[in-house]
Structure formats: structure tokens, C-alpha cells
Chain A
Amino acid sequence: SQTIHQWPATLVQPVGSPLSLECTVEGTSNPNLYWYRQAAGRGLQLLFYSVGIGQISSEVPQNLSASRPQDRQFILSSKKLLLSDSGFYLCAWSDGTVYEQYFGPGTRLTVT
């Protein structure tokens, strides 16, 4: 069966510091991968999606970037965090047929 991991689970970072969040998927190959952000009490905003290694599409201009160095690894990064980057970051994967997205446990980021 497939599983999706995210780490860290929680993170407190000062403004201006760098960020690296990691997501890995097991039990499938060539998944579509997604990064979402959820602000407190809000819905989900799609940040990035990837259909293959090195292929990243960005949905909104922002202070963040994403990379996919391996088939089942997706990384979210920032060079300098802003207060507005605080939120709950969720990674998800889907296959190429039904496209149902399966979400990881999330990383709760607080920028202070």
C-alpha cells in the first residue's frame, strides 16, 4: 500500500530564516505531487504541483519554491521566510487515472 510522509511535523522559524520541508511517497511510482498551504481556519491553496522529476508548476507567485529531485520526493523551500508564510503545509500525491489526492500528515509552520 502507499504511504506519504512529511517532516518535520511542526516548525517554528524566525522571519528571514530559510525553510526546507520534505515529502516522500512510498509504494507507488511516478506519482503527481502537490504542495498546499492552509491558513488558520481557511481552505487549501495549491502552491505547486509536479508530474515528474524536475517538472514543477507554480500556481501562485510567492516567497516559496519547490523541487522534485527524485521520483517520490518533493521539497518545499524558501530562502527567507515572511510572517505570512505561517500555516499548515500539506503534501499530497495522486496517480494518473482517478486523480484522487491523498494527503500527508502535514507540517505546521509558525514564523515569528
Chain B
Amino acid sequence: ELKVEQNPLFLSMQEGKNYTIYCNYSTTSDRLYWYRQDPGKSLESLFVLLSNGAVKQEGRLMASLDTKARLSTLHITAAVHDLSATYFCAVDIANYGQNFVFGPGTRLSVLP
């Protein structure tokens, strides 16, 4: 059975600190996606990682993909309060978009 795991599930950090969220998955896939969800809202696409070694950066967030280790990371640099949200990774297990499996999400709270 496919599993997509994230850790930590809850993260409380102070502004200005760095931290990494991990996404592990149990099947072969070359496509991994990161999303952000604010409370009560829909999902916003953050990063699309389509090959081994892919690295994408946007502002204080950087995502990477290691398909051999079946691991993706979302690194937060110098966190600010506006980054508080729940972050989901999703694995495209069919590799053609027909079956995304989402992780449970990491709820991030950035404290002043």
C-alpha cells in the first residue's frame, strides 16, 4: 500500500529560524508537488518537482526531490509569521497525473 508520510506533523518555530519539513513516500515516482493551505481555504500550489535532483526556490522556501531515496524536503529559511499554514506534499504515483496521493500535512506555526 502506498504511503506518503510527512514529518513533523506539527511545527512551532520562532521568526528568523530555519527548519525543514520532510516528505517520504513508499513507491516509485518522479513527480512530487508541494501545496500550502491556509485555515479554511483551498490549496495553493507551491512547487512542482519533476525529476531526481530537482530543486525549486521561491522566497524563503526551497523544495528538493531525491527520487532514489523517495524523499522530498521543504526548507524554510528565516521564517516569518506569514508562512504559518499547513503544507502538503503530494506524489503522482501514476506519473501521468491521474492519481495524486497527499501526505497528512505539516501544520506550521511561526511565532513572533
- List the one stretch of B13-21, B62-70, B77-85, B100-108 in contact with chain A: B100-108
Q: Interface residues of B, CB < 8 Å — how many?
A: 23
Contact of A96 (CB < 8 Å), options: B43, B97, B102? B97
Contact of B100 (CB < 8 Å), options: A46, A51, A96? A46
Contact with B along A26-66 (1 / 0, CB 8 A): 00000010100000001111100101000001010000000
Pairwise interchain contact B99-A43, C-beta atoms closer than 8 A: no
Residues of A contacting B: mostly: strand
Pairwise interchain contact B48-A98, C-beta atoms closer than 8 A: yes
A100-B45, A100-B48 known; A94-B97 Cβ under 8 A: yes
A102 to B43, CA, bound (A): 8
Pairwise interchain contact B42-A43, C-beta atoms closer than 8 A: no
Is B25 an interface position by the 8 A CB rule?
no
Contact with B along A96-112 (1 / 0, CB 8 A): 10111111111000000
Contact with A along B89-103 (1 / 0, CB 8 A): 010100011111111
Minimum Cβ distance to chain A for residue B82 (Å): 20
A90-B42, A90-B43, A106-B42 known; A101-B100 Cβ under 8 A: yes
Pairwise interchain contact B104-A42, C-beta atoms closer than 8 A: yes
Minimum Cβ distance to chain A for residue B31 (Å): 7
Pairwise interchain contact A44-B97, C-beta atoms closer than 8 A: no
Minimum Cβ distance to chain A for residue B112 (Å): 24
List 3 A-B pairs, minimum CB-CB distance, nearest first.
Answer: A99-B97, A44-B102, A103-B43
**Which B residues form the contact surface with A (CB < 8 A)?**
31, 33, 35, 41-45, 48, 50, 88, 90, 92, 96-105
